Amino acid sequence: DTAVSQTPKYLVTQMGNDKSIKCEQNLGHDTMYWYKQDSKKFLKIMFSYNNKELIINETVPNRFSPKSPDKAHLNLHINSLELGDSAVYFCASSQGGRRWESTDTQYFGPGTRLTVL
Amino acid sequence: GEDVEQSLFLSVREGDSSVINCTYTDSSSTYLYWYKQEPGAGLQLLTYIFSNMDMKQDQRLTVLLNKKDKHLSLRIADTQTGDSAIYFCAEKVMEAAGNKLTFGGGTRVLVKP
């Protein structure tokens, strides 16, 4: 009964390849996110989707294309992988909502460690 | 602007208290969070505090918020070896499009027996 799950957990691939990471949440949340954690553990948001609609895109190269087939899933497709894409990618979800006083707490998946050789 | 900073490392003896500090710059933050990341694992939400509160206690965890100085701290009482991890503070930033979390760089806590 994992709340936010990601597959695969590890992904090793050659430069130039195209790969996808999948994320699913069973919390009934409306909003999902992708974060990138670099080798120094610095975490930065990449994308946010609310009800299948892209709402935040943080100047990520267009080689990264998120896709949300339904509000419980947010997949990340990466074209033409580069060495600098090596990182841990975290998916997260939250209830959403734009009220100033709402916590909108984000719950994270276990991460996908991507290594580009 | 959005910038969240934390000290890099903290070493503490088992049974002592740990205090992890964080500073942030966005005065419009409504919620501030503490997450824990164990080696090879995802981020686990520990606690959060609303910006109109000064303090929140949850079992061994105490969060203090000084909104004037934009300073947040997490105190762990009776620190145990299982508390060894990286601790991230994060602020909720509301943008026109939606909410996002801005994270600090993480504080690596090492608990020595």
pLDDT digits (tens, 9 = 90+) for B44-76: 999 999 988 999 999 999 999 999 999 999 999
| Local confidence pLDDT in tens for the 117 residues of chain A | 669 999 999 999 999 999 999 999 999 999 999 999 998 889 999 999 888 888 888 878 999 999 999 989 999 999 999 999 999 999 999 987 666 556 778 899 999 999 999
Tell me the C-alpha distance between A111 and A5, whole Å: 8
What pLDDT score was predicted for residue A64?
94
B9 reaches A (C-beta below 8 A): no
Parallel, antiparallel, or unpaired for β A112-116 and A10-13? parallel
Q: Answer whether residue B1 shows pLDDT above 50.
A: no
CB contact under 8 A, A42 and B42: no
Q: Where are the beta strands (DSSP E) in chain B?
A: 4-6, 9-13, 18-24, 31-37, 43-50, 55-58, 61-66, 71-76, 85-94, 99-103, 107-112
Identify the closest residue of chain B to A95 by CA–CA distance.
B99
A56 reaches B (C-beta below 8 A): yes
What pLDDT score was predicted for residue B26?
78
Residue A85 dihedral angles phi and psi, to the nearest 5°: -80, -10
Contact A68, A18 (CB under 8 A): no
Query: What tens digit of pLDDT does each residue of B5-50 get?
Result: 998 999 999 999 999 999 998 777 778 999 999 988 889 999 999 9
